[in-house]
Structures are given as C-alpha cells and as structure tokens.
Amino acid sequence: MDGNDPRRSLPAVDRVVASLDGLPHPLLVDCAREAVDAARARVESGHPSPPEAEIVADARDRAGRLRRRLLRPVVNATGVLLHTNLGRSPLSAEARAAVDDVAGRASNLELRMDAGTRGSRHEHAGALLARTCGAEAGLVVNNNAAAVLLALAALARGREVVVSRGELVEIGGGFRIPEVMAESGCRLVEVGTTNRTRRSDYAAALGPETALVLRVHASNYRMVGFVESTPVRELASLGPPVIVDAGSGLLDETTPWLDRRPGWLRDEPGVRQALEDGAALVTFSGDKLLGGPQAGILVGRADLLGRVARHPLARAVRADKMTLAALQSVALAYLDGRAGTLPLWRMATRPTQELRARAEAVADAAGGLKVVDTEAVAGGGSLPGRAIPSVGVALETADAAAATKILRNRDVVARVEGSALVCDLRSVDASDDARLVDALRAVREALPG
Ligand SMILES: *Cc1c(COP(=O)(O)O)cnc(C)c1O
C-alpha cells in the first residue's frame, strides 16, 4: 500500500459501529464490518472511496435487515389460517398465561406432589388430551412427524408395517411416509393401488412379520373419482394394531365445541371416531386443527403407549414444559366445552357479515380499495381444496410484487391474485386492522395508480 491508497481513507470498523444502535454490540460489529468490506471491495475494483456517511448508512441498513430477521409477530392476511411459515395456530390468552406461569419458575413437571415420587411429564397434557377424545392414554412429543417416527420405531422396528399405496404421501417440509418408515427401521409393505385399496389387499399382506397396519390421512391432497379406501373399522378387524396418522388433529368430527359443524370440514375424520372405530393409536399435530402449540400427540392404548414412552427416541423428541403448559390449557378448554373460543376456531367460524363490515372499514380508511369475497383455507396441510367463505380488501396494482414487499416491510403478509393484492380478513385479528390500514396506505402512497 502506498500513501495514496484510497483504502486508507475507509473508516475503521469501530468508528462505524459507534454510529449504530438497536442490536447487541457483536452484531453491530458484524454489520459495520460488512459495510466497510463492501466499500473496500468497491475501491479495489477501481471506484472512488465512498464517503463515510454512505458506509454508515449501508451498515445501518444491514443492522435494520438483521433486526427484521429476528423472530417477531406479523399480521397474517393470507387467508391461510394455519400457515406453516407464519407459525400455524395462534395460542389463546389462557394458554399463553399458562406458559408464563410455568416458564419462569419451577413446576411439578416430573414430580408427584402428593406422593413426593418421580412422576412423568405425560401425566398432565397427555392424560388430559387422552380424556378429550376418549383414549386410554396420551403422550406428547415435539411434533407429529416425531410422533409417527417414534411410534413406528418403538412398535415395529425390524418388522413389517402395511400401508396403502394411496397413502405413501409427502406431507410437506420433506415429511415423506416411505422415508419416515425407513428411518424408523420398520419394513414398508405396500398394498393396493394409488386410487383403490380394499380390506382384502391388506389381509393378503399380513403375516408373522406384520407389526402394524398404518393409515395416513392424506392431509394436503385429495383424490376424487374412481377411489376406494378401507375404513379404519375394517382395518381394525384385520388383527394387528392399527395406527392412524390423523395429521390435522380434529379431536371430534361432530365438533361439539361449536354451535354447528362448519361445512368446510366436510368429511374430515375425528381422532375420537378413529379410536371408536378401533384404531390402537392415533397421532396428530398440536398446532393444526387442535389450535394449540407445536406438538405431536399420540393417544390410544396404554400398553402400546407405555412401549412408545420407554423407547430411547422418546427422550430425544420429548415436549418441553412450555409446550405442555399450553397444551394442558387447550385440553382443559376442550373438556370444558370452551374450545370454540380458541383463536383458531374463532377465526375459522367468524361470520362473513362481520368480516365484510371490517373490510368496508379498512377499505374506507385506506382508500382506493375494493371489498371482495375471498376463499380462506384451513392450511397447515389440512383440508385441501376446501374453501372457507371469507371477505377481504383488494388493491389493483401494476406491480403486485412491489406491493407485497411494502406490506412485508410493515409486517403484513398478504397474497396476490392476478393483478391484485388481496388481504383476507379471516386470518387477521380485528385488533390488527389499524396496522393493516397503515400498511395499505403506505402501498398506495408508494405505488399510486
Ligand atoms: C402435518 C402432518 C404431519 C406432520 O406434522 P407436524 O406436527 O408438522 O410434524 C404428519 N402427518 C400428517 C398426515 C400431517 O397432516
């Protein structure tokens, strides 16, 4: 380097850091270093050295972007109620309070307070959830993918599990039934065809090596036309225990916690009914139609769940106390007949007139928007193709991608339909309508016409 080296005029990283704030010091140092490095790279490729203010502004931008990547709440205006990328089911105030109660202090997680002996973390939420659907026992793990893997590993490792070819599905996020089965160490025995599998197909595949029959709820896709599957009741009469991966976790298909059963649920099967029909175990997610925290729930025969709980993998996928506290609160709400007040069921059953009134108010306040009929969906890989009638606001724009970006910068996630930006109000809490208005105003100001 000679004395005229323009790199020498670049500010020191510490000097840039001194102008930044809003993040822990090591992260600000990262941002400052990246900005100075970027400036140096420009100088080295022959550009003049940028003024210090420009480098500081770049570092500030980087710090801003880093801050925005931190986990934080956003407004879900997609109309997808259980949006996996947006955290699926919101938790009720009661469930959050229950988490708060046990999170900051000691709890009786694994201690029986009456006897003073060691207890099990499955005695709380697991047992209550079993009670909600009439099962002998219940167990909670980290998510439903883990529940399926654990059940297969504990009950069928080295043995055969019979599954319909129509149920060898990929649920999303890389959860493919054949791969999960392989990971569990069991042997997959495929029966029937993609569109039709009869009881006799299962019966022909049974043998001394058969450990289980597995039924997988197709969840995120639907077959129509020349299709046939074998009801759980008939599978249960085959002999080996039947495990049902119910996925979405509709506890009872008669939805006794609602005034009436929503039409969009159509023939979604219930956990209680699968058990009544003879399933030995049912697994499902905590954060889909149950309306709770991320969790995998196994309910069914106590002897099988005992084996599942003793498997070494159970320790690896166990649920933590905050999850168990939230789930306990959700289970109590179901047992109390109050599950209709859970945020998920509130969202799902809001009358469209109410949504329309809110949409009109949002459209008025933001200006230049149309109130439109929309179709919300349950999402989270449940109930594909079954729309929930809804209402939203639409903004016609020549650049929908730019419009959604402006919204995202204000923590609002919307969807694009053709040339319109659509905010569906069914997935938005009414208390967020004002934020929605502000964000939509910003889009109109940035993209007039
Ligand atoms: C969603 C789903 C899973 C995965 O559940 P997670 O709780 O997301 O791990 C597994 N099986 C079925 C049928 C599903 O619908």
Q: In the CATH hierarchy, which fold is given to the domain comprising 75-87+345-446?
A: Aspartate Aminotransferase, domain 1 (3.90.1150)
Q: How does strand 420-424 pair with strand 415-417? A: antiparallel
Question: In the chain, where are the structural domains located?
Answer: 15-58, 75-87+345-446, 93-338
pTM: 0.94
3-state SS, 46-83, equals: CCCCCCHHHHHHHHHHHHHHHHHHCCCCCEECCCEEEC
**How many whole angstroms from 261 Cα to the centroid of ligand 1?**
23
**Torsions phi, psi of 343, nearest 5?**
-50, -40
| Cα distance between residue 375 and residue 144, in whole Å | 27
**How many whole angstroms from 78 Cα to the centroid of ligand 1?**
21
DSSP summary character for residue 9: G
Q: Which atom of ligand 1 lies at the shortest distance from residue 382's CA?
A: 15
Q: How does strand 370-379 pair with strand 382-396? A: antiparallel
> Can you give the pLDDT at residue 384?
61
- 93-338: which CATH architecture? 3-Layer(aba) Sandwich (3.40)
| Cα distance between residue 281 and residue 298, in whole Å | 7
Mean pLDDT, 10 residues at a time, the chain of 449 residues: 69 96 98 97 93 97 96 97 95 98 96 94 95 98 96 97 91 82 93 91 96 88 80 96 95 96 90 98 97 98 98 96 98 98 97 98 95 92 78 94 94 94 97 97 87
Structure tokens at 302: 């106590």
> Can you give the pLDDT at residue 256?
96
Q: Which atom of ligand 1 lies at the shortest distance from residue 296's CA?
A: 7
| Cα distance between residue 412 and residue 211, in whole Å | 48
Residue located nearest, by CA, to atom 2 of ligand 1: 247
> Can you give the pLDDT at residue 220?
65
User: Which are the contacts of 20, defined by CB distance < 8 A and separation ≥ 6?
Assistant: 28, 31, 32, 56, 59, 60, 63
> Can you give the pLDDT at residue 185?
94
> Can you give the pLDDT at residue 1?
47
CA distance to 26, 41, 236, 292, per residue, from 155 (Å): 48, 59, 16, 27
Asked whether the beta carbons of 198 and 169 are under 8 A apart, the reply is no
Burial class (CB in 10 A: 0-12, 13-18, 19+), 120: middle
| Closest to 436 (Cα-Cα) out of 353, 376, 368, 359 | 359
**How many whole angstroms from 146 Cα to the centroid of ligand 1?**
9
Which of 89, 140, 181, 285 has the most ligand 1 atoms within 8 A of CB, as the residue to mutate? 285
Residue located nearest, by CA, to atom 12 of ligand 1: 247
DSSP summary character for residue 176: B
